[in-house]
Amino acid sequence: MSTEHLRAARELRPLIDRNAARVDGAPMARESVDALAKAGLFGIMTPRELGGLELPLLDVLDVIAEVAWADGSSAWCLMAGASTAGYFGAYCPDDFVKNVFASGIPLVAGQLFPNGTAADDSDGDGYRITGTYQFGSGINHSDWAAVGAVTMPPGGSGEPAEMISAMMPIDRAEIRGNWEVLGLQATASYDYAVADVRVAKSATFKLLTPTRYRGSVVYELGVLPLTAIPHAAFAIGVVRRALDELVSIARTKHRMGASTSLAESDYFLNELGTLEGRFRAAEAWVRESIAAMEHHVLETGAGDPRLANAVRQATVHITQDGAEIVRSAYRLAGTSALRKGPLERCFRDIHAGSQHFFASPAPTMDFARDLMAERDG
């Protein structure tokens, strides 16, 4: 455990929590962004040779979970910025990263899913990218925009189309807004678009089969398994906060007509113990699966798709069961949960997070296919 960086994240809890209570639907406070950057936390997934921290995967999990305890939106923006910067830092060649990372870890946001097209530029050294994108979490405070695209090889070349991710200065993107949502409001996950923007090929990497230019063999795991980890961390932090808030409320809350506090109710105690047990079990599977995946890649130099799928499914589980746990906590807290505050924010944020691809049935089906293949074997 990297106690220094976990301590830094924990020390930022009061600031992030206070700012989250103030923004009330506005984008994440710049003070919180700057504090995370000053602590180096946007570099937790960036290779050390670029000035990043390149933390072990369970440390990444713990740092983001700490921030999520303070505020889900702030952790989501940290997750998006830290992972995206890390990928471009690990998977792009020197002539691009030496400029982008020259002044420190860049603030970058955007959607890597290939919702655009990339045509070869006339000189053959770049692409011209056009596309429309959603969910640019943190893009309003970022200096760089990330996009995904499908390449369009020249006619008759016989080259296959590829899914690529590209990075460009933020002023090349048109920010369109459109983020009136239930939860994760402060992520300002705006729609955005790019039109015929040229990017050097050195500013891109293949989304599903990236080449590792720097960093440890852990980057051989690729984008999907590595992205699942901070998503699990988000859920861990938000659910932990919701249960902590429930305990705090129960100490002084009296149901109408009750002679004792909620905390003295046998029914409440049974419900709380059950919810805590479910949470700890889900978190334990997340940690176990991440540790197994990281151990394997460090030992062999290559990822194991089955271990990666287990991490992705553990992420689905902590998010979806976490949403159920928070919903139960919300009900147990009664009218106290209706009012603006941490528990109400946790309720909205975990349900917004449960709609993401990394909490969808897709990883579950991949995991189940592995189970079937094991049984058939």
The domain limits of the chain are 3-100, 108-206, 217-376
Which of the residue ranges 17-26, 123-132, 282-291, 326-335 would you say has the lowest mean pLDDT? 17-26
More confident residue, 134 or 25: 134
Q: Do 3-100 and 108-206 fold alike per CATH?
A: no
Calculate mean pLDDT across residues 270-277. 98
Distance from C-alpha of 217 to C-alpha of 298, rounded to nearest angstrom: 6
Share of the chain above pLDDT 70, in %: 97
**pLDDT at position 23, please?**
75
Tell me: the pLDDT tens digits for 299-352?
Answer: 999 999 999 999 999 999 999 999 999 999 999 999 999 899 999 999 999 999
Burial of 248 (0-12, 13-18, 19+ CB in 10 A): middle
Band of the pLDDT at 100, cuts 50, 70, 90?
A: very high
Statement: residue 1 has pLDDT above 60:
no
Share of the chain above pLDDT 90, in %: 89
Tell me: the pLDDT tens digits for 159-193?
Answer: 788 999 999 999 999 999 999 999 999 999 999 99
**pLDDT at position 16, please?**
98
**pLDDT at position 157, please?**
66
Topology of the domain comprising 3-100: Butyryl-Coa Dehydrogenase, subunit A; domain 1 (1.10.540)
**pLDDT at position 375, please?**
80
Q: Smallest Cα–Cα separation from 1: which of 62, 42, 65, 86?
A: 62
Kindly report the CATH class assigned to 217-376.
mainly alpha
Band of the pLDDT at 152, cuts 50, 70, 90?
A: confident
Kindly list the distances between the CA atom of residue 114 and the CA atoms of 16, 141, 165, in Å, as whole numbers in the listed order.
33, 23, 7
Statement: residue 293 has pLDDT above 60:
yes
**pLDDT at position 218, please?**
98
CA-angle at 108, arms to 344 and 141, nearest 5° = 55
**pLDDT at position 122, please?**
79
- Mean pLDDT over each residue of the chain, to the nearest integer: 95
Helix (H) or strand (E) holding 109: strand 108-110
Give the torsion sign (CA, 212, 214, 218, 219). Answer: negative
Largest CA distance in the chain: 81
Tell me: the pLDDT tens digits for 203-220?
Answer: 999 999 999 999 999 999
Tell me: the pLDDT tens digits for 225-271?
Answer: 999 999 999 999 999 999 999 999 999 877 766 667 898 999 999 99
Tell me: the pLDDT tens digits for 35-81?
Answer: 999 999 999 999 999 999 999 999 999 999 999 999 999 999 999 99
Calculate mean pLDDT across residues 21-46. 94
Band of the pLDDT at 123, cuts 50, 70, 90?
A: confident
Give the torsion sign (CA, 22, 27, 31, 35). Answer: positive
Q: Domain spanning 108-206: which superfamily?
A: Butyryl-CoA Dehydrogenase, subunit A, domain 2 (2.40.110.10)
Distance from C-alpha of 232 to C-alpha of 353, rounded to nearest angstrom: 10
Give the torsion sign (CA, 10, 221, 351, 190). Answer: positive
Note the pTM of the prediction, 2 decimals: 0.96
Kindly list the distances between the CA atom of residue 146 and the CA atoms of 25, 83, 115, in Å, as whole numbers in the listed order.
24, 11, 12
